Chains A and B, each alone.
Chain A
Amino acid sequence: MVVGEITEDKDIVVIGGGPGGYHAAIRAASLGRQVTLIEREDVGGTCLNKGCIPSKVFTHFAQEFKKTKHLKEMGMEFGEVVANLSSLQNYKNKKITQLRAGVESLCKANKVEIVKGSASFLSESRIGVENGHEFSLFNFKQAIVATGGEFQYPDGIEFDSDRVLKEKEIFQLEEIPEELIIYGNDYISLEVATIFSILGSRVTLILNGEFPFDSAISKELFRQLKKQKVNVIKNSTLQAASQAEAKVTVSMEKGNGEIVSIEGSHFVASGKVKPNLSDIGLDRLRVELTEEDYIQTDREGRTSIPNIWAIGDVTEGPSLAVKAIKQGKAAAEAMAGLEVEVDLQFVPTVVQMSPPIACTGLTEEEARRAGYSVTVCENPVRGNGYAQLTDEKDGFVKVVSDSETDMILGIHMMGKGAVELITSGVLGLEMAARDEDFRFPLYPHPSMNESLLEAVEGLKGDAVHMPPRKEELAR
């Protein structure tokens, strides 16, 4: 390492060019600040390069593949449909490159300077950036730490193999695994399970805990996994996973203490995200951390060092790009003296599996624990005309409300279109909507939107396409 003699003066430095970092950088630039974005790998971060985007290429691919049966049923004539993962990889890489170029040109258009290298704080106003043998020094006025997270895995997994994989590696496969064993109970595990079962793998999903959903969603989820022939092993803790030739062996401890081993062709583990803080020199600054070693921030994202903010996976809360993006923009605005607030109360949780899941607000169980007198309505998608004609009849919309005030507390959906439709729910919850606030507006017909409308109407037994309740029949 050669220490440069020249220190450049910068205004704002953003460390990390993931979704949080680049949103922060562009927002700060649009507010008139001079911004330097430091990224050691590719702009776009985990989300664009290894996470959300690659996985969504796969979920989209699987869902389209699944449709072919229905297309033939409607009269589209074509020969055998083959899922070619090698071509899919090309497609994926092309899309990632395009999107990354888009982010880079947006940065350029906003005069955000991108510096390649690994950053390390030297003091509260000075940072070093190492890029190969080059080392640059910057003085800064304010900084945003957006270095993201790294996945951590249970001990016993021998990853140095082409069949024992981390989640990001599964989306680099060029062949469909014969027998895929998945360990994890998060959205990534569920997406991977349905993708590969649709594409023809025999899938085993090992769960080491409960699903983080409303009980109705979890129940339907198990039914859907069973229907899709995913072998689910509940309540088990992974002991070891290793490869021997073309086989992987996975052993786990079941709830009753029994040790069980299963074999497959591939194994993938979904890890837990831990903040990337080790090599950026924050320990030198004595920045305050939480008990779980996230950077402690206030409502604006400011750390215990007044001119340094932290956003995304380095802060506590769900490890989601939606959080990082919101925090990034808020941090930039706070630096510009605007009053900001990040409130993740109604953050949407989505799983782009087949059928997709999207939720916001309180689950029925949480609402009861919080002391509300709860009314719920579950409206099956089957009753929706548009779902019938598109043959996307799986799923339901469940609405949780407070029967004392009619306030909507939570919305939980499973079914085609849920990920787009959940925004109506998020907006309603943010506006503190009551049932009539959902019932009064007009919903396009025919469309999936009507499933949400009728779920709300059903809270008072008024949904036309739902069977009357027993007490109503008794009248």
Chain B
Amino acid sequence: MEVKLHDIGEGMTEANINHFLVKVGDVVRADQPLVEVQTDKMTAEIPAPFSGVIKEFTVSEGETIPVGSTVLLMEKEQKQYGGERSFPQTTQVLKKRRILASPYTRKIARENGINIEEVVGSGAGGRILDEDIFLYMNGESQSVPVPVEEPETIAPAAPIKPDAETIPFRGRRKQIASKMSQSLRTIPHCTHFEEVDVTNLLAWKDTMKTGGKSISVGAYFIKVISVCLKEFPVFNARLNEQEECVELQSHHNIGIAVDTEEGLIVPVIKQVERKTMKDIHGEMKELTVKAQEGKLTMKDIKGGTFTVSNVGPLNGSIGATPIINEPEVALLAFHKTKKRPMVNERDEIVVRSMMNVSMSFDHRVVDGGTAVKFTNRLRDLIEEPQSMLLELM
């Protein structure tokens, strides 16, 4: 049987074969990784769909293949004689034995090692359709017959000019599009802005650097956010409407939005609450490089609980209305830092380094007051780096 390259998520269209993790003739278990592939944004492993023997590779390492291509051939594990009674006497056929599927559909089930008796049919009168088998195989069976109705395109708003240039709208672009729309459709967004004086932070950073310890302000922000999340755990949560509860997440897994040539991607730093600023700094650097080089793995981009978008280094924008990375509750954007004349406590005009932040939150889960308290606390911790000493454990 053929093992194919499937869309492993994020709307990939093709992948490069990095290397095979098995040899021809190897006996493999179901789920054992067979081959490592590289998509435009991550590396992933294709697992064995069933236990069996590797017969043949149909592609070679280094080759780029489209989704749906056969990667290798496997033979199913020699089934041992089951010993079951094969032929029910025709006179003892019971009602439940009747399988409501055409022989063609039954064959599809057989060839994929599916016991058709376990499949619930979505066709007329409970008939099992080909699609039911495929859904069952993908583990999306029965319980969720979600008819995703694609709205029919009636006519394009404006006819495309014959000389108009087109750029492809697929792959990651399309994936980003669907995630953004989904988030805006479900979450009532609310965004507020705050300005933060980072003069002291920059001075602290320089001091550290002179001492030979480079820490980016980005790493500092992440740690500060973790401190704030500890105090306001409702922002490190997800809403479960079905169960009518807000699930507070036990770890601070903070996603960092990274802009790459192919588009936005959000690798995640896990368990920030347990990590030192130095750890965070190192990990951020590593993940950013991986993102730029398209080497992120599924593991790297999963499990986020809060997202940070640091557009400061891009040297532009003083405010934004970011779209929350659903199903998270909030997202915080750090904008560019600029020296501005500010009025101090003694009513003097002084030159300070100022940075704006924009925070979007899910208004179903929290209200503006809590959000402002959150950014106030964040502001104070950034403006007075020494106050972070109090957070030492």
Contacts and interface: CB of A to CB of B under 8 A. Distances in A.
Given A315-B86, A432-B127, A345 B93 contact: yes
A32 interface: no
A315 B102 contact: no
Given A347-B90, A362-B93, A431 B102 contact: yes
Contacts of A300: 79
A303 B90 contact: no
Interface in B70-107: 75-76, 78-91, 93-95, 97-103, 106-107
Contact of A297 (B80, B86, B127): B86
Interface string A303-316: 11110000000011
A303 B125 contact: no
B348 interface: no
Interface string B318-336: 0000000000000000000
B125 A407 contact: yes
B243 interface: no
Interface residues of B, number: 33
Given A297-B86, A306-B80, A339 B107 contact: yes
A411 B127 CA distance: 21
A340 B86 CA distance: 13
Interface stretch (A23-31, A110-118, A364-372): A364-372
Interface in A417-475: 430-432, 434
A186 interface: no
A318 B88 CA distance: 11
A430 B93 contact: no
B81 A432 contact: no
Contacts of A303: 81
B152 interface: no
B86 A342 contact: yes
Given A341-B106, A432-B127, A296 B93 contact: no
B87 A316 contact: yes
A298 B95 contact: no
Interface residues of B: mostly helix, strand, loop or mixed?
A: loop
A271 to B, nearest CB: 20
B108 to A, nearest CB: 10
B373 interface: no
Interface string B121-145: 0000101000000000000000000
Contacts of A434: 125
Given A318-B90, A345-B93, A299 B81 contact: no
A405 B87 CA distance: 26
A317 interface: yes
Interface in A325-383: 337, 339-342, 344-345, 347, 362, 366, 370-372
Nearest to B92: A366
The residue in A297, A305, A306, A342 that gathers the most chain B C-beta atoms within 10 A of its C-beta is A297
A303 B95 CA distance: 28
B94 A298 contact: no
Contact of A298 (B86, B97, B99): B86
A344 B87 contact: yes
B81 A366 contact: no
Interface in A252-309: 288, 290, 296-306
B170 interface: no
Interface in B28-84: 75-76, 78-84
Nearest to B98: A432
Contacts of B107: 339
Given A317-B87, A366-B91, A405-B125, A345 B97 contact: yes
B125 A315 contact: no
B275 interface: no
B364 interface: no
B113 to A, nearest CB: 8
A340 B110 contact: yes
A339 B110 contact: yes
Contacts of B103: 430-431
A299 B109 CA distance: 15
Given A298-B81, A431-B102, A315 B87 contact: yes
A362 B90 CA distance: 8
B111 interface: yes
A337 B75 CA distance: 8
Contact of B83 (A301, A304, A305, A315): A304
Nearest to B95: A370
Nearest to A339: B110
Given A298-B86, A299-B84, 14 more contacts: A299-B82, A302-B81, A305-B81, A306-B78, A315-B87, A316-B86, A318-B90, A339-B111, A339-B113, A347-B90, A362-B93, A370-B93, A371-B95, A434-B125
16 contacts: A212-B91, A288-B83, A290-B85, A298-B86, A299-B82, A302-B81, A303-B81, A306-B81, A318-B90, A339-B110, A366-B93, A370-B94, A371-B95, A407-B125, A431-B102, A434-B125
Per CB-CB distance, the 9 closest pairs between chain A and chain B, nearest first, are A317-B87, A339-B110, A298-B82, A432-B100, A370-B95, A339-B111, A302-B81, A431-B102, A297-B86
